[in-house]
Amino acid sequence: MQKCHDQRRDVCACFIDYEKAFDRVLHSKLIEVLKECGVDGKDIRIIHNLYWKQVAEVRAGDIVTPKLSIQRGVRQGCLLSPLLFNLYADRIFKEAVEDLDVGVRVNGERITSIKYADDTVLLAESLEDLQLLLNRLSSAGQRAGLTINIMKTKWMVFSRSSHDDAVLTLRGR
């Protein structure tokens, strides 16, 4: 940020919030991602047994529902969950930006995002590029079960000039 500021370049940032991010990870898609990342089959089976042989039942007073198989999500609070989500989200992000030449150039490298677990910040040098990134990430995320929460997603421009009239939209809002 400082380098861009010193060079009088704008940095546009969008702070993404996914709706129930850890709960929306599609198990079948995550298995694909783990295989693509070269995770050993034995380790995938361990993760599969830890995460996907889970069932739940709902109890209300004396009434208990039949057991339900849990088909998506990674466990909240599990040490492995942020790593699994990182791999999942990184695949989605790469799919979204694979053919784009956007982001913030620092020391010759393009930086399009800063990510950890379900926290993602998109970076661009213009609002137009940021809008493009946001649209592409939203579409790729939807295909993988992740929805951007419009109400909690925020953006800002680090600039020496005013951008008071600037607007970003997502899904028509």
pLDDT tens digits, one per residue of 41-93: 999 999 888 877 778 888 999 999 998 887 788 888 888 999 999 999 999 99
Residue type, 67: K
> Residue 169: what pLDDT?
75
pTM of the model: 0.80
Domain assignment present for residue 169? The answer is: no
Provide the b/e sequence for 123-136 (b: ≥16 CB within 10 Å). Answer: bbbebebbbbbbeb
Q: How far apart are CA 29 and CA 72, in angstroms?
A: 10
Q: How many separate domains does the chain show?
A: 1
Which region among 79-88, 117-126, 157-166 has the lowest average model confidence (pLDDT)? 157-166
Q: Which two tokens stand for residue 143?
A: 């295909």
Residue 135: which CATH number? Answer: 3.30.70
DSSP 102: -
Residue of 76, 90, 73 whose CA lies nearest to 137 = 90
Domain, as residue range, for 119:
2-158
Phi, psi of 117 (to 5 degrees): 50, -125
> Residue 45: what pLDDT?
92
Domain assignment present for residue 164? The answer is: no
